[in-house]
Amino acid sequence: MTLRLDAELADQLEAVADVEGVSMAAVVRDALAEAIERRRADPEFRQRLADTVARNQRLLDLLAGEER
């Protein structure tokens, strides 16, 4: 996976990693895990997720010839 950051954000990431004594990859992994957990706890996100799952299931059913 490639992640492109602007120079300022990359410098900030490097500074955080240095202060924490971890790799930049570890900081990114932690930040992503926190962002995902925030979304999982967000009722609006959960509703959009449920809507997306239902829409995709309808499409899969159509492709399989199983109209609902």
pLDDT tens per residue across span 14-63: 999 999 999 999 999 999 999 999 999 999 999 999 999 999 999 999 99
Residue 67's pLDDT is 67
Interatomic CA distance for residues 32 and 58, integer angstroms: 30
Helix (H) or strand (E) holding 9: helix 7-20
Q: Is the pLDDT of residue 66 over 90?
A: no
- Residue 2 within any structural domain of the chain: no
* CB burial readout 10-37, b (16+ within 10 A) else e: eeebeebbeeeeeebeebbeeeeeeeee
Number of domains in the chain: 1
Residue-range definition of the domain harbouring residue 42: 7-63
- Residue 1 within any structural domain of the chain: no
Residue 32's pLDDT is 97
Q: What pTM value is reported for the model?
A: 0.77
